[in-house]
Structure 1
Amino acid sequence: MIKKLYLHNLNLVKELFELQRASYLVEAKLINFFEIPPLKESMEELMQSGETFFGYFDGDELAGAISYTIAGSELTICRMVVHPNHFRKGIAQSLLTEVEKNNQNLSELKVSTGKENSPAKNLYLKNGYKLVRDLEVVPGLFISNFVKRRVEER
């Protein structure tokens, strides 16, 4: 089940914080970079991110989460995390579908991931996102930027 997460519940924030750490540690190993900002943030910083969060629950367990911001007609996915115990169950796909369905009025969706994070890149590509560029953000670390533009019907 997918539902909106409200970050004033400290137990939920702690669960999200731990989920995020477990997920981003896997990405850190894939891209050989352990300074990913969400790995360094505190629970307070997570709570104050200003992002909208949705969580995927397997029973009572938070198995995955997605967050985003909206500016004008652009939605930027900030985080996509799935607990390693729940990889390859379609959770990231379900979360992405939910966000897209709930924001059909927006004309552009953006997301970035580590260039070496093939599972994430494949998810975005198969959902119609196009690779815009690979950007070297620090020496030796490349981030792949994707965009999905929606054509307005007339």
Structure 2
Amino acid sequence: MCTSSTSRPISVCSTCSGPAYAVEAVLIGDDRIPPLHEPLADLLPAPLTWVGAFDGAGGRTVLVSTGRDNTPARRLYEGYGFTWVNDAEVIPGLWVTSCRLTP
């Protein structure tokens, strides 16, 4: 999980998020993914919790989103028990799928 409480988790996220979003851009055929173009300094003040790995959900509902056409990510989430919530066009032509894991 990435939070601003320590520099290590943020450092890990900043190191892997750019390349990860670049791969997703190739998979979905669109590089307009907002986090791909936003500097880390702009993301830090946002009320975000980035879940990179977990062992159970601690009794809470977890919501995730990925590019609608990012089949590997969708399969990964489904494999962990996430269920589809909806698809949304976040900017013209860029679709995101949201999934939920309910305890």
User: How many angstroms apart in 2 are the aligned matches of 1:24 and 1:117?
Assistant: 11
Match of 2:59 in 1: 105
**Superposition RMSD in Å:** 2.6
Q: Take 2:13 and 2:99, find their aligned partners in 1: how far apart are those partners?
A: 25
Letter in 2 for 1:18: T
User: What is residue 127 of structure 1 aligned with on the other side?
Assistant: 80
Contact 2:63 2:99 in 1 (8 A): yes
Matched, 1:141 2:94: yes
Deviates more, 1:11-20 or 1:37-46: 11-20
Distance 1:7 1:41, change over 3 A: farther
Query: Where do 5+ consecutive residues of structure 2 fail to align?
Result: none
Q: TM-score, normalised by structure 1?
A: 0.55
Bigger-Rg structure (1/2)? 1
Which segments of 5 or more consecutive residues in structure 1 lack a partner in the other structure? 53-66, 69-79, 81-94
Report Cα offsets for 1:34-89 as digits up to 9, x if no partner.
Answer: 1212112123123323434xxxxxxxxxxxxxx15xxxxxxxxxxx5xxxxxxxxx
Which of 29, 35, 38 is matched with 1:32 structurally?
A: 29
Work out the number of aligned pairs and report it: 103
Structure 1 residue ranges, 4+ long, deviating more than 4 angstroms after superposition: 3-8, 11-15
Q: Contact 1:17–1:46 (CA<8 Å) still a contact in 2?
A: no
**Secondary structure of 1:104's aligned partner:** coil
1:31 shift after superposition: 1.0
Percent identity, aligned pairs only, is 29
Task: Give the distance between the partners of 1:138 and 1:27, measured in 2 at CA.
Answer: 16
Partner of residue 71, structure 1: none
- If asked which structure has higher relative contact order (CA below 8 Å, sep 6+), I would say 2
More strand by share: 1
